[in-house]
Amino acid sequence: MSTTPTDLDALVAQKYRHGFVTDIESDTLPPGLDEDVIRLVSGKKREPAFMLDWRLKSYRHWLTMREPDWAHLRIAPIDYQAISYYSAPKKKDGPKSLEEVDPKLLATYEKLGVPLHERARLAGVAVDAVFDSVSVATTFKDRLAKAGVIFCPFSDAVRDHPELIERYLGSVVPHTDNYFAALNSAVFTDGSFVFVPKGVRCPMELSTYFRINAANTGQFERTLIVAEEGSHVSYLEGCTAPMRDENQLHAAVVELVALADAQIKYSTVQNWYPGDENGVGGIYNFVTKRGECRGANSRISWTQVETGSAITWKYPSCILTGENSVGEFYSVALANHYQQADTGTKMIHIGRNTRSTIVSKGISAGRGQNTYRGLVKILPSAEGARNYTQCDSLLMGDRCGAHTFPYMEIKNPTAVVEHEATTSKIADDQLFYCRSRGISEEDAVNMIVNGFCKAVFKELPMEFAVEAQNLLAVSLEGAVG
């Protein structure tokens, strides 16, 4: 049956579906990083002076830092001088509308299933698509503008709304925060900016698709979402990359700011190329994601489904500053073949009566290593704070690993902190039970895994919950049988 290592190898042998390369002329900087490169990138983007200053400040700080080594990961050394820090599809001027976007690019997104056209299947979802370093199209701009919502490529925001960028950029993740965040602050090329004004409920789901295409490039995008008092927004990002033998670096920063009574829901379906079944190639996904519930009664909710990348290193976190604010983290992380994931969250309770919920589901198969690392920190000011953490691991086969590192720092005696953790194997019993009812082994595995992940999937927007289920099924195809 399915549980012998050799059978599992077959399961793991499933193919990555987004591994094609688009043959498109691009404007790519030669590899290497110094202040001139940063000036060049900033110049290409026609950025205001404050932006360049910030980049240079970040770069100088980065030079003083060392790569972190505390994660439960084996990482081959990264040569930062071998990476190209800017790659953009060649074009005359920025596209004014979808009609002006290179048809090859549109075809790429079509292949990826990204609904760029406004008539597309997922009508009601506004999409910003980032290809290598630049944003190529943002749909539904007009309808959003009518509601007062700004949703645009980050580069546009720097030019069109410099006052907002200057006020909020780096206010949650400072340029000195960590090694990869400092690097990102120096060299980030594009990303998305969302601003939802006071009292506005964003009329549709917002979505960004990130795609790394060019070889030897890194992708350093920056996303900033600001939700003013009483506003609501739901945002989804999806990620894919071609299959390449070298590891490619993706070091993004996402900052969320929720003012009083505002709600931000941030969902990620991450399917970067994970490397082949021997662990060759794949994306290094080193991402800093953090949200601050700055105002009272605000809420930030992270939901992530992480099926891709050779190495994932990310901890979407919440700083709960406002009274009664709520932070949530729902995660499904899959590590198959030689994939490594070290992921989790930090919940920093500062305000009174702040609450946080953490639900983490880790699935390990093949030789995958899956680590949950989470911090719950309750400061002396956080009277009446509460946290609930549930952390479950599912193992398939006997050569993978699951690790759990929960950290708790409780500085206020009124806090209530709960932690539950389980580790289980996909039991032969469960598989046999389903099979003895006529259900094929593969369907049975999918059924059991989806059941395991249900608590997280139900947090995803409807359409994407279906996508996440399919993605998981594809990622485990052949894992047994």
Token pair recorded at residue 362: 């880790």
DSSP state of 322: S
- Rounded to a whole number of angstroms, the minimum distance from the CB of residue 299 to another protein is 25
459 binds another protein (CB under 8 A): no
Phi, psi of 465, rounded to the nearest 5 degrees = -65, -40
Q: Which stretch binds another protein (CB under 8 A): 209-217, 226-234, 336-344, 429-437?
A: 429-437
451 binds another protein (CB under 8 A): yes
Which residues lie below 8 Å from residue 458, measured CB to CB, with a gap of 6+? 465
3-state secondary structure of 333: strand
428 binds another protein (CB under 8 A): yes
452 binds another protein (CB under 8 A): yes
Residue type, 80: Y
Measuring CA to CA, how many Å separate 281 from each of 132, 245, 272?
A: 17, 4, 11
Give the span between the Cα atoms of 424 and 420, in whole angstroms.
13
- Cβ proximity to another protein: between 92 and 437 the closer is 437
Kindly tell me which residue out of 13, 40, 434, 474 binds another protein, with binding defined by CB under 8 A: 434
440 binds another protein (CB under 8 A): yes
Token pair recorded at residue 142: 């007009």
Which residues lie below 8 Å from residue 294, measured CB to CB, with a gap of 6+? 257, 258, 259, 260, 321, 322
- Cβ proximity to another protein: between 20 and 432 the closer is 432
Q: Which stretch binds another protein (CB under 8 A): 323-331, 335-343, 408-416, 434-442?
A: 434-442
Give the span between the Cα atoms of 300 and 321, in whole angstroms.
12
Q: N- to C-terminal Cα distance for the chain?
A: 6
120 binds another protein (CB under 8 A): no
Give the span between the Cα atoms of 284 and 311, in whole angstroms.
5
3-state secondary structure of 442: helix
Kindly tell me which residue out of 66, 92, 96, 437 binds another protein, with binding defined by CB under 8 A: 437
- Cβ proximity to another protein: between 32 and 451 the closer is 451
Number of residues engaging another protein in binding (CB under 8 A): 25
Q: Which stretch binds another protein (CB under 8 A): 208-216, 271-279, 321-329, 426-434?
A: 426-434
Kindly tell me which residue out of 107, 123, 433, 466 binds another protein, with binding defined by CB under 8 A: 433
Q: Which stretch binds another protein (CB under 8 A): 216-224, 372-380, 448-456, 462-470?
A: 448-456
- Rounded to a whole number of angstroms, the minimum distance from the CB of residue 274 to another protein is 25
Give the span between the Cα atoms of 8 and 345, in whole angstroms.
30
* Residues 1-20 close enough to bind another protein by CB under 8 A: 1, 3
CA geometry: angle at 111 spanning 282 and 213, to 5°? 40
Residue type, 241: A
Q: Which stretch binds another protein (CB under 8 A): 248-256, 331-339, 344-352, 453-461?
A: 453-461
436 binds another protein (CB under 8 A): yes
Give the span between the Cα atoms of 215 and 459, in whole angstroms.
35
473 binds another protein (CB under 8 A): no
In the chain, helix, strand, coil percent, each to 5? 25, 35, 40
453 binds another protein (CB under 8 A): yes
318 binds another protein (CB under 8 A): no
Kindly tell me which residue out of 447, 463, 474, 478 binds another protein, with binding defined by CB under 8 A: 447
Give the span between the Cα atoms of 283 and 388, in whole angstroms.
32
Q: Which stretch binds another protein (CB under 8 A): 219-227, 362-370, 408-416, 451-459?
A: 451-459
178 binds another protein (CB under 8 A): no
Residues binding another protein (CB under 8 A)? 1, 3, 427-430, 432-441, 443, 447-448, 450-455
